[in-house]
Amino acid sequence: MTTNKHLVASLLHTIATHTSDVNSVAFSPDRQLATASGDKTVRLWDTSDFTELSASPLVGHAYYVHCCTFSPFGTTLATCSTDGKLILWDVKSGSKVSTFQHSSKQSIRVCRFSPDSKYIVSGSDDETLALWDVTAKTLVRSYNTCHDASVVACAFTPDSTFIISGSSNGDLRVWDAKYGHGKVLTYTLEGHDLGVTSCDFSPHMKVKDSGVDGCVTYEFATSGHDNLVKIWEMTADLSCTSVVLSHKLTCKGHEGTVNFCCFSSDGNLLASASIDKTVRVWDPYCGQELCVVEGHTRYVTSCAFSSDSRLLASGSNDKLVMIWKITTQEDCIENYKEPQTAPNAKKKDAPRLIESWSAEEVGDWLQQIDLSQYKDTFVSNAIDGTELCNMTDRMLIDLGVAALGHRNKIFRCIKTTQNKPTVSRSVSNLSDNGIPDEYLCPITRELMKDPVMAEDGYTYERSAIQGWIDKGKDTSPMTSIPLKTKQLIPNRSLKMLIQHYLESGK
């Protein structure tokens, strides 16, 4: 089935709770949302009202969390991190079910459950894949003769029979996940010229002559540093476990590295996230671009469809998660409703932007979001809609909004009402403890005392990055790209800024 209708994405909600890059987003079958971040946390959300679940946040990783993924039934969440750990969590209680680790203890970049829920596979900077038994909590096998670079992408076929993996070198390899073979079944060195970033299988399968002698054709998508999304066919002869990969079509449109791609649950849509700050939705049958989703102010790292394909979540280096409602242009016309108006606007009034609100309307708005205790202060200080939109963290404190949670709620509600991502610089650049984010080491998330620059262009605390190198890790902890030199250059300018920050007592 092909959908030729162009789609419309409207911003439904923005989550601004994470204090570092949002690296991964995932929906459960019942539309709960998981978000994983460089702030070492994973958070769980109820998408019916976007409240954070009681089990959230999940805290257990020591470094960046790179990936999160739900089990097929949504009862378990898997996360993996730069700390080299793959953790399985009970979604309801938030407790750890089990923790896995590659023998090398190097960063784990990606993890995926098998569709039958029996296994989970993980890819690491140690250039290997590991297949784990979820119930027995044991390592089934390690695919050691694997890639010659970090494994950054992996996925199971819809029948859980095979695994495909991709590396930062750009190659794709297919492995047996069912019959016990440990060697690679087939590979291509021409996946993506500059490196693969992600892969995902469509749920659609074509079966010819079912049984052990049958032939099955799968469809999967990959993304890469060459700015492309590619769609492939994989044909497997089950009688001899022979597998052939063939390139089907290429989706062109992104203007930068495509960090992630994923199919909708019905296989009729394909989404991709890019450093060009957009998410694009494609028709996977013909490669037609159906929608360009714009809103993030920095690289988009990940995206995910809800189980009914009506919601699309995106995560970004701007620390935000945005949830978009996906509709066709025809549905938008049929179901059109006037935009939200000011709190006291009458039905006959024309729709008004938040910037045009009076101070009294701002006061009523505060009452609507359950912060009525600040209403009189805002009104007496003539905080109208324009002033509200230009509010900073310092201004809110001066107005008597001392509680950090209340200040964050005001900023979140402003963004939701505006229906666009306008985050105050003073808020977006602060960590959860009030320290400017650029002063924190990206590995330890602690204030740096001796900041140094590595070849990847990132600044780290010297002891943290030196410890990383001393463990034999030769790739960037931020990008997984190989570090050609281990030279560390003191970042004296940043050190002076940090010292000034400490001396000023801010």
d(CA 34, CA 452) in angstroms, rounded, equals 33
d(CA 27, CA 34) in angstroms, rounded, equals 6
Q: Is the confidence at residue 66, as pLDDT, over 90? A: yes
Classify 214 as helix, strand or coil.
coil
- 151 φ, ψ to 5°? -85, 110
User: CA of 473: how far to CAs of 37, 235, 462, 469, in Å?
Assistant: 22, 36, 15, 5
Do 132 and 89 form a contact (C-beta atoms < 8 A)? no
Classify 129 as helix, strand or coil.
strand
- Global pTM value: 0.67
pLDDT of residue 177: 84
- State pLDDT tens for residues 433-462: 557 777 888 887 778 889 998 887 788 899
What mean pLDDT comes out for the span 425-437? 50
d(CA 195, CA 193) in angstroms, rounded, equals 6
Classify 234 as helix, strand or coil.
strand
Do 315 and 23 form a contact (C-beta atoms < 8 A)? yes
Neighbours of 178 (CB within 10 A): 18
Closest CA to 19 of 294, 300, 317: 317
What mean pLDDT comes out for the span 382-407? 84
What domains appear along the chain, each with residue ranges and CATH number? 7-334 (2.130.10.10), 354-402 (1.10.150.50), 437-504 (3.30.40.10)
d(CA 103, CA 101) in angstroms, rounded, equals 6
pLDDT of residue 433: 52
d(CA 199, CA 230) in angstroms, rounded, equals 9
Contacts of 497-501 with C-beta under 8 Å, sequence gap 24+, read: 497/439, 498/439, 498/447, 498/448, 498/449, 498/451, 501/435, 501/436, 501/439
What mean pLDDT comes out for the span 55-80? 94
What mean pLDDT comes out for the span 137-145? 83
Classify 453 as helix, strand or coil.
strand
Helix (H) or strand (E) holding 59: strand 58-59
- State pLDDT tens for residues 475-496: 888 766 778 888 888 888 788 8
- State pLDDT tens for residues 184-196: 566 666 788 888 9
Classify 201 as helix, strand or coil.
strand
DSSP state of 145: S
Q: Is the confidence at residue 41, as pLDDT, over 90? A: yes
Closest CA to 148 of 130, 131, 126: 126
d(CA 474, CA 458) in angstroms, rounded, equals 15
The overall average pLDDT reported for the chain is 83
What mean pLDDT comes out for the span 98-119? 93
